[in-house]
């Protein structure tokens, strides 16, 4: 085991320590506000889960506003697939200096970013074998719901840790892409109520939910609507085969090794987000630009041991119909699903702490095909749950709207409309 770990570190030139160092270097260079990594006291396994995940396995960073007040809300930033908390570096200072926010906490999902990478047989792997198969190598046999719980259970433990969040504290949860889907699922599953009597178990009040470029509102095409695999272009058939076999983009980068892998990450990052500054920062002794810092961070995040990335197949699926091709949630949020989840919480106990749901897409966002379904769902939430809900479009922004148009992204978090 040790020899294979050393071989892996040699081939990829990366380790968990180097990942956290890259995160620290990125945040120190590009965020003016000081930050710290609070310790979590939640070392007790959750009694209602089959997984032995602890809040200490979650990597998170806390930024405190200059004029911090306990009465101001805490913004929790949750990244998307294959990313990490460091990607929100352009948003943190503006949020803290707005006078409307007390703290910002960036969180890495379990199995992603700098959080613990649990063993493959405990990771959210969708089985490529039949349910009756006796083969168990790296086959966690997770259902889609199990895969959701893989991410939400540790987040819930963290939010209930009194060393990090106070009972009844006002929290605004911001999730991007897959993180937006998971944030919505968390609001459905664990929306906490303002009149809970047990202060020892009460978590913070989730009062605002911001879903940035979320996947999952548009239900996948039905069996009858889908284009048969035999009629799809070869490239899409290959993608579908790799996807269903749990082959991830991260696996390709790992196979490349350190030199080629780093080059591929930097080239892809520059292609996806071309406005990143390539000029060396004058006050940087290590001669690194904004692009260098982010590419170095993303490389270490990418080549860390495979774990949460398997959610690509367990939570999502590619599909094509006459209306077009896209990536869909296996358990979607649209067609009243999110509304029903919130209504179930309202039936359990009144009133809901959640007061606002906001969905935002970039104007040239590749997941914007979810917009119509999201608008219908928000309308349903407004009508049936009496919660403010709406969809907004961020101009001059693609999928990475928090970097493409950081000012507008921050304004949407802060604004009530």
Per the CB < 8 A criterion, the answer to whether 368 and 215 are in contact is no
Nearest to 19 by CA among 298, 377, 265, 283: 298
**Which pLDDT belongs to residue 286?**
64
Nearest to 157 by CA among 55, 35, 282: 55
**Which pLDDT belongs to residue 174?**
98
Q: How many of the other CB atoms lie within 10 Å of CB of 127? A: 18
**Which pLDDT belongs to residue 131?**
47
Tell which wins on pLDDT, 44 or 269: 269
Query: Does the pLDDT value for residue 136 go beyond 80?
Result: no
Q: How far apart are CA 249 and CA 237, in angstroms?
A: 16
**Which pLDDT belongs to residue 52?**
43
Q: How far apart are CA 45 and CA 152, in angstroms?
A: 14
Q: Over the stretch 156-201, which tens digit does the pLDDT of each residue have?
A: 999 999 889 999 999 999 999 999 999 999 999 854 444 444 444 5
Q: How confident is the model at residue 138 (pLDDT cuts 50, 70, 90)?
A: low
- pTM for the complete prediction? 0.91
For 294-324, the DSSP string reads HHHHHHHHHHSPSSGGGHHHHTEEEEEETTE
Per the CB < 8 A criterion, the answer to whether 233 and 222 are in contact is no
Beta bridge partners of 328: 317
Sequence-separated (6 or more) residues with CB below 8 Å from residue 267: none
**Which pLDDT belongs to residue 64?**
95
Q: Which of 2-11, 61-70, 117-126, 255-264 has the highest mean pLDDT?
A: 255-264
Q: Over the stretch 90-129, which tens digit does the pLDDT of each residue have?
A: 999 999 999 999 999 999 999 999 999 987 667 777 765 5
- Averaged pLDDT for residues 298-321: 94
């Amino acid at each position: 085991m040790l020899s294979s770990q050393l071989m892996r570190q040699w081939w990829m030139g990366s380790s968990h320590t180097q990942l956290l160092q890259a995160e620290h270097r990125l945040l120190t260079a590009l965020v003016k506000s000081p930050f710290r990594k609070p310790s979590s006291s939640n070392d007790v396994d959750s009694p209602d889960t089959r997984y032995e995940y602890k809040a200490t396995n979650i990597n998170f960073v806390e930024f405190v506003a200059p004029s911090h007040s306990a009465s101001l809300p805490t913004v929790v930033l949750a990244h998307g697939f294959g990313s990490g908390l460091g990607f929100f570096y352009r948003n943190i200072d503006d949020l803290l200096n707005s006078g409307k926010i007390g703290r910002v906490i960036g969180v890495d999902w379990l199995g992603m970013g700098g959080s613990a990478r649990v063993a493959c047989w405990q990771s959210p792997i969708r089985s490529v074998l039949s349910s009756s198969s006796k083969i168990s190598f790296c086959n966690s046999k997770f259902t889609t719901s199990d895969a959701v719980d893989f991410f939400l259970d540790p987040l819930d433990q963290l939010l209930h840790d009194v060393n990090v969040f106070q009972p009844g504290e006002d929290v605004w949860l911001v999730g991007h892409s897959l993180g937006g889907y998971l944030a919505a699922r968390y609001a459905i599953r664990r929306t906490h109520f303002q009149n809970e009597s047990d202060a020892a178990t009460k978590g913070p009040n989730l009062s605002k939910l911001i879903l940035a470029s979320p996947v999952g509102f548009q239900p996948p095409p039905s069996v009858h609507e889908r284009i048969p695999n035999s009629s799809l272009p070869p490239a899409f058939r290959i993608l579908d085969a790799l996807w269903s076999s749990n082959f991830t983009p991260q696996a390709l980068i790992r196979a490349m090794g350190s030199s080629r892998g780093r080059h591929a990450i930097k080239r892809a990052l520059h292609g996806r987000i071309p406005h990143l500054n390539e000029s060396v920062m004058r006050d940087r002794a290590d001669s690194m630009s904004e692009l260098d810092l982010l590419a170095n961070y993303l490389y270490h995040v990418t080549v860390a041991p495979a774990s949460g990335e398997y959610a690509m197949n367990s939570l999502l699926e590619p599909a094509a119909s006459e209306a077009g091709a896209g990536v869909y949630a296996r358990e979607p949020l649209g067609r009243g699903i999110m509304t029903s989840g919130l209504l179930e919480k309202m039936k359990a106990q009144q009133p809901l702490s959640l007061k606002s749901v906001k969905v935002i897409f970039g104007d040239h966002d590749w997941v914007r095909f979810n917009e119509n379904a999201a608008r219908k769902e928000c309308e349903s939430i407004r009508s049936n749950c009496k919660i403010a809900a709406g969809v907004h479009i961020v101009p001059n922004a693609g999928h990475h709207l928090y970097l493409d148009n950081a000012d507008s992204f921050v304004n949407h978090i802060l604004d009530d409309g």
